Amino acid sequence: MKIRPAKLTHGDTVGVIALSSPLKMEQLPIKLELLERLGLRYQLGQTIAQFDGFLAGSDEERLVDLHAMIADKNIKAIFCVRGGYGIGRLLDKIDYQLLQENPKIIWGFSDVTSLHVAVNQYADLVTFHGPMLSESSQPLDELSEKMFQQLFTPMEIHYDEGISKLETIVGGVARGELLGGNLNRLVSTLATKFEVDLQDKIVVLEDIHESPDRIDGMLNQLRLARKLEQARGFVIGDFNGVEEAELLKIVLHYLKPLNKPVVAGFKIGHCQPNIGLPLGVEAILDADEKVLRILPGVE
């Protein structure tokens, strides 16, 4: 069992940090407005306004920021404000024991997938795959914002066709720990100390601006690494920029031969809504009924 971080209460202070690409500062107010609506206080990381080429500050500055937020007892959660690229450069420098000793909510997606994988394996902690407080300069849609409530009250998530149209690729029922996220970032962990462990997992996959041949190549790499065969089931999220028919053809090619439950059409990823999920908790994927049930992510 993974460690579940403590739930939030109104009035708590949370950390807001940039660990990947730099943030356009004009987008910051709309992100902070959401935290205020949630009844939270916030502390900004030191690299929020930093620009170091394509990164939000140097590796050392971003790492110091993360460690400071982890060590601060007053900070109850850490929200990443931007994806892009950069967290992978920090993975071998993060103090995972510090995080295990100070477990707290970590929320983000896209490039943050790299952090989710590492924290899941080396701090044994449940983390949250969810939108970056806003989508660029636009507020979050109502459903995406509602998903933040899972951080305040332990609740099971029940995802069915009431949220989006789902398509069963392979039928059956699978039960296992939920893991995954951005396909590109999952593949980038292969042959490293932080190689993603998909053994007995229900795997979430999403991505953006990847061509069909790139998606095919990444799934093939996971196949050759014998990762796909280890999983118990697959939750196919949004692949922004790819035609649905093209995506499903590729998914069918790689996942149908495994004869494990696969359902596509989940609004998870670079889309609206973007449903926030806890990673590292038990889930049941019922591909026959087109339902994903997930246990609470907080205590």
Q: How far is CA 155 from the centre of its chain?
A: 18
pLDDT of residue 30: 86
- Catalytic pick among 21, 110, 134, 144: 110
Same domain? For 139 and 170 the reply is: no
Give the model's confidence band at 99: pLDDT under 50 very low, under 70 low, under 90 confident, else very high: very high
45-84 pLDDT, tens digit per residue, is 999 989 999 999 999 999 999 999 999 999 999 999 999 9
Active-site residue, 137 included? no
Q: Is the pLDDT of residue 189 over 90?
A: yes
The count of structural domains within the chain is 2
Structural domain contains residue 8:
no
- The residue-averaged pLDDT of 27-52 equals 94
Q: If you search the block for the tokens 């939108």, which residue do you land on?
A: 131
Give the model's confidence band at 25: pLDDT under 50 very low, under 70 low, under 90 confident, else very high: confident
259-291 pLDDT, tens digit per residue, is 999 999 999 999 999 999 999 999 999 999 999
Q: Is residue 228 classed as helix, strand or coil in its secondary structure?
A: helix
Q: Measuring CA to CA, which residue among 106, 118, 114 is closest to residue 5?
A: 106
- Catalytic pick among 135, 177, 206, 210: 206
Q: Of the candidates 129, 151, 173, which is a domain's last residue? A: 151
Model-level pTM greater than 0.85?
yes
Q: What does the block give as tokens for 227?
A: 């990762």
Instruction: Check: CB of residue 130 under 8 Å from CB of residue 148.
Output: yes
- Summary mean pLDDT of the chain: 96
Active-site residue, 167 included? no
CATH, residue 42: 3.40.50.10740
Same domain? For 171 and 286 the reply is: yes
Same domain? For 144 and 166 the reply is: no
Residue 229 belongs to what domain range?
157-294
Same domain? For 78 and 103 the reply is: yes
CATH, residue 172: 3.50.30.60
